[in-house]
């Protein structure tokens, strides 16, 4: 039987349906002298074949199921030394606060870049920076000067409360120009005016003492007190709404002090420097770079995750980054992307970040980065941004709540652009991140269909397969993605195959990895329960790991071919590619050298490909060889999955008389009848399909009677009624072929049912041919589907078989049928 059985093409007898059965049908018995025809075959007198027959046939071509390539969560965190920027440690230099003007948005920065050649967005004018005096640390923030304070002009700072200075600070602080004294006097005059204001009183009487305590705690390494004081300082500044007021000079002085703490190795100190700096809405490029780098450094250790879980630092970070001009601050963006990547290895933080709706920000960063793709001098920096960003997206995709975000605003399309423009060997990690992300997303139909619509992705995937053929981790994921797309979309199948290199590339990949597989030392005994898609790192034997990883690639390539063949246009092209199909034959010929999973995938691919009956097909030209190979597989009951798939392929091959003759010589009929007693429904479908085709020939029908096949089929019929109308329909087709004889021939008269068999069959028909007897459930949609299957799959076949049995029974006078007619 072909794996595309359709129902109502067979001729039928002239009796009306039993009383009460819907859809009365006029039937005429087929002339038994006609050439034998399988139940599914279209009689010559049918001129117009309904398109539904073709659709049903195509639906029988199966998507090859497979698991996603094993990729455990990468819990390792990016460290700053992995970036190609200046990686000098933060505690070897002094990080000074850079004087800022009001905060500048990225849009404003764009305008400035267009209208000014002398300044850079977000950075103060260079002349201002040169003329600025050395940082005056807390000179006007202390509450009251003590006896130990050292005066310098209008500036004074306690030698006991002053934070530790960097090693090069003394050298720089000695370069004090006398020209700055006048500016100090002006600052003192302005300070006098500020003192009269309420705001200045707050800085002096509330914030000043906290600063003193903060510096003292820092000097004495009392970090718990430092933590409490910083929290109090944050609360005080927030209560008086002082974070957003950039005009007050004491804000800058406080930030200078905070920046001097960056030198500390203590995570508590660094956390508070980041939190307060972000709250103050720092805007210059240098300041942002230092603070976001410090944030990334914090996230490189999982012991610091509690800072991000238990504070508002994430809110502050997500408020700051949208104001950053991406092009002019690539280093800061790289640190931010690193921060996201590090945080999203923690499941709690994934949930927290997801609640804050970060995708709009991530999409804007991604778009702005891709706008710079043509600037070759920025390629490395772009990759440093995109690699951790795509890793973060991959981690966020683990949360089902976020999947909808990938469907909006062309995020998936922008990710495909990464694979279009970043395909060099140096971009390997970036390509892997995107491939891993798509591997997850394409398991969901909505995301998969979104990727299908991205026309550029097909050429990108092919380009990667060609350029990185030896990169197993990349190839296996690209093929998994393609397999998912081909399984779900006819457009994807046709679009992919339009590329002249598509089939050639897949064939070359298959050939290369089969050759590589032949060179690998295989384990002494292959565990039939092992899956090559599972974690290869859990096995100690490196040879086994290598063997499994290579087979995993072969599996995924075969799956792409198999799913491509669901399209008739593609299938006819593939089956004429001799070198491609010959590779599948080669795998079948060495069953002991391959895992059961790989052999099952090969058989599933051959099932789809053997469906197409074409004189130029490699399968048709070598069908006898293939049939003999398959017979070996159906005899090995230790690999039952292979048995099922081998019977399916035989169902397609047995459409020709010469293959049916071979199968009878190999006693396949007995094996099929034997498996009719199985509880495996998939196996029952496959073996009954073969029996249907075998019984097309009159000289082969006797096997059902001799080997108790009729009893086995009636048993299947009995328990499949109501639960599986499609399986019941197949049984009816096999029974129809069995009893569709010219009984005037003496040789055919023994091929009839016993009285006991007839009673069972007629009872079953009496139960199942009445629509009113259909079982119902609480689920209306399920009941509607059950009714549809009954109408379309079961009733047309069963009603004809019923009429045939009535007709034959009247001829043989086997039993009284008044109670059933």
pLDDT, tens digit (0-9, with 9 covering 90-100), for 244-286: 877 677 888 899 999 999 989 999 999 999 999 999 999 889 9
DSSP notation for 705-762: HHTTHHHHHHHHHHHHTTT-HHHHHHHHHHHHHHH-S-TTSGGGTT-S--HHHHHHHH
Query: What was the pLDDT predicted at 149?
Result: 36
Task: Return mean pLDDT, the chain.
Answer: 79
| Number of helices and strands in the chain (H, E) | 40, 2
The answer to whether the beta carbons of residues 369 and 385 sit under 8 Å apart is yes
How many whole angstroms separate alpha carbon 651 and alpha carbon 645? Answer: 10
pLDDT at 755: 86
Q: What domains can you pick out in the chain, each with its CATH number?
A: 454-521+544-666 (1.25.10.10), 696-820 (no CATH)
Q: Work out the average pLDDT over 555-580.
A: 96
Q: What is the separation of C-alpha 98 from the centre of its chain, rounded to a whole number of angstroms? A: 45
CA 203 to CA 191: how far, in whole Å? 12
68-72, 92-96, 662-666, 805-809: segment of lowest average pLDDT: 92-96
Structure tokens at 312: 């508002």
Q: Distance between terminal CA atoms of the chain?
A: 31
- Of 127 and 769, the one with more pLDDT: 769
Please state the length of the chain. Answer: 821
Which pLDDT score is estimated for 163?
A: 38
Residue 820 has pLDDT above 50, yes or no: no
**Confidence bin at 526 (pLDDT 50/70/90):** low
For 181-236, write each residue's pLDDT tens digit: 444 444 444 444 544 478 888 988 999 999 999 999 999 999 999 999 999 999 99
Q: Quote the pLDDT of residue 82.
A: 44
Q: Which has more pLDDT, 359 or 134?
A: 359
Q: Residues 298-332: pLDDT tens digits?
A: 999 999 999 999 999 999 999 999 999 999 999 99
Q: Tens of pLDDT along 668-713?
A: 999 999 999 999 999 999 999 999 999 999 889 989 988 999 999 9
- Distant-in-sequence contacts of 35-38, Cβ < 8 A, 24+ apart: 36/696, 36/697, 36/698, 37/696, 38/1, 38/2, 38/655, 38/692, 38/693, 38/696, 38/737
pTM flag (> 0.85): no
Strands (E), 109-250: 149-152, 155-158
């Amino acid at each position: 039987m072909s794996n595309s059985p359709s129902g109502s093409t067979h001729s039928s007898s002239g009796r009306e349906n039993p009383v009460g059965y819907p859809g009365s049908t006029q039937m005429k018995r087929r002339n038994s002298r006609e050439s034998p025809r399988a139940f599914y075959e279209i009689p010559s007198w049918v001129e117009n074949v309904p398109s539904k027959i073709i659709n049903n046939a195509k639906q029988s071509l199966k998507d090859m199921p497979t698991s996603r390539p094993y990729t455990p969560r990468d819990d390792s965190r990016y460290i700053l030394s992995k970036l190609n920027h200046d990686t000098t440690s933060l505690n070897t230099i002094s990080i000074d606060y850079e004087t800022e003007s009001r905060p500048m948005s990225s849009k404003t920065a764009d305008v400035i870049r267009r209208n000014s050649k002398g300044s850079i967005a977000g950075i103060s004018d260079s002349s201002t920076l040169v003329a600025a005096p050395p940082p005056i640390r807390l000179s006007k923030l202390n509450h009251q000067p003590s006896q130990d304070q050292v005066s310098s002009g209008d500036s004074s700072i306690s030698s006991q409360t002053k934070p530790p200075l960097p090693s090069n600070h003394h050298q720089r602080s000695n370069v004090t120009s006398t020209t700055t004294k006048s500016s100090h006097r002006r600052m003192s005059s302005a300070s006098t005016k500020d003192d009269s204001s309420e705001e200045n009183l707050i800085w002096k009487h509330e914030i000043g003492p906290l600063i003193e305590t903060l510096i003292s705690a820092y000097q004495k390494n009392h970090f718990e007190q430092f933590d409490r004081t910083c929290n109090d300082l944050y609360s005080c500044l927030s209560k008086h709404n002082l974070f957003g007021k950039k005009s007050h000079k004491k804000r800058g002085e406080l930030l200078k002090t905070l920046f001097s703490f960056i030198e500390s190795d203590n995570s508590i100190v660094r956390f508070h420097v980041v939190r307060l700096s972000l709250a103050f809405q720092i805007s210059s490029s240098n300041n942002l770079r230092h603070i976001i780098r410090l944030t990334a450094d914090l996230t490189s250790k999982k012991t610091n995750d509690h800072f991000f879980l238990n504070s508002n630092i994430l809110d502050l970070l997500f408020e700051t980054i949208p104001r950053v001009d991406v092009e002019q601050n690539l280093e800061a963006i790289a640190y931010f992307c690193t921060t996201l990547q590090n945080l999203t290895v923690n499941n709690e933080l994934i949930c927290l970040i997801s609640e804050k709706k970060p995708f709009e920000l991530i999409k804007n960063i991604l778009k702005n980065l891709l706008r710079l793709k043509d600037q070759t001098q920025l390629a490395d920096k772009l990759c440093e941004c995109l690699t951790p960003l795509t890793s973060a997206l991959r981690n966020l995709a683990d949360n089902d709540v976020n999947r909808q975000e990938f469907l909006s605003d062309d995020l998936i399309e922008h990710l495909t652009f990464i694979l279009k423009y970043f395909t060099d060997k140096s971009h390997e990690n970036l390509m892997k991140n995107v491939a891993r992300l798509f591997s997850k997303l394409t398991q969901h139909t909505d995301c998969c269909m979104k990727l299908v619509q991205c026309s550029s992705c097909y050429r990108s995937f092919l380009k990667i397969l060609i350029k990185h053929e030896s990169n197993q981790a990349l190839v296996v994921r690209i093929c998994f993605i393609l397999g998912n797309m081909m399984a779900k979309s006819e457009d994807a199948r046709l679009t992919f195959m339009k590329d002249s290199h598509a089939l050639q590339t897949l064939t070359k990949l298959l050939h290369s990895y089969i050759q590589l597989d032949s060179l690998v030392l295989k384990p002494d005994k292959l565990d039939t329960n092992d899956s090559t898609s599972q974690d290869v790192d859990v096995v100690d034997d490196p040879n086994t790991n290598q063997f499994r990883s290579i087979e995993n690639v072969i599996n995924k390539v075969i799956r792409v071919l198999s799913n491509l063949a669901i399209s008739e246009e593609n299938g006819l092209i593939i089956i004429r590619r001799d070198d491609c199909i010959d590779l599948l034959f080669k795998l079948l010929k060495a069953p002991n050298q391959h895992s059961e999973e790989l052999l099952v995938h090969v058989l599933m691919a051959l099932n789809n490909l053997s469906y197409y009956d074409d004189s130029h097909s490699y399968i048709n030209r070598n069908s006898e060889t293939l049939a003999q190979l398959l017979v070996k597989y159906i005899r090995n009951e230790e690999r039952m999955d292979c048995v099922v798939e081998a019977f399916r392929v035989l169902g397609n091959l047995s459409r020709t008389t010469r293959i049916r003759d071979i199968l009878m010589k190999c006693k396949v009929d007995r094996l099929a009848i034997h498996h009719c007693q199985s509880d495996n429904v998939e196996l029952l479908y496959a073996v009954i399909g073969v029996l249907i085709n075998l019984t097309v020939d009159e000289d082969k029908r006797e096997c059902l009677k001799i080997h108790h096949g009729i009893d086995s089929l009636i048993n299947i019929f009995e328990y499949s009624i109501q639960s599986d109308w499609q399986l019941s329909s197949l049984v009816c087709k096999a029974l129809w072929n069995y009893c569709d004889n010219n009984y005037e021939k003496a040789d055919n008269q023994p091929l009839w049912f016993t009285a006991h068999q007839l009673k069972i069959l007629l009872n079953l028909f009496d139960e199942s041919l009445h629509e009113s007897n259909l079982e119902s459930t609480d689920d209306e949609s399920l009941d509607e589907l059950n009714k549809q299957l009954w109408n379309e799959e079961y009733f047309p076949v069963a009603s004809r078989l019923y009429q045939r049995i009535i007709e034959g029974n009247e001829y043989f006078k086997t039993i009284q049928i008044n109670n059933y007619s």
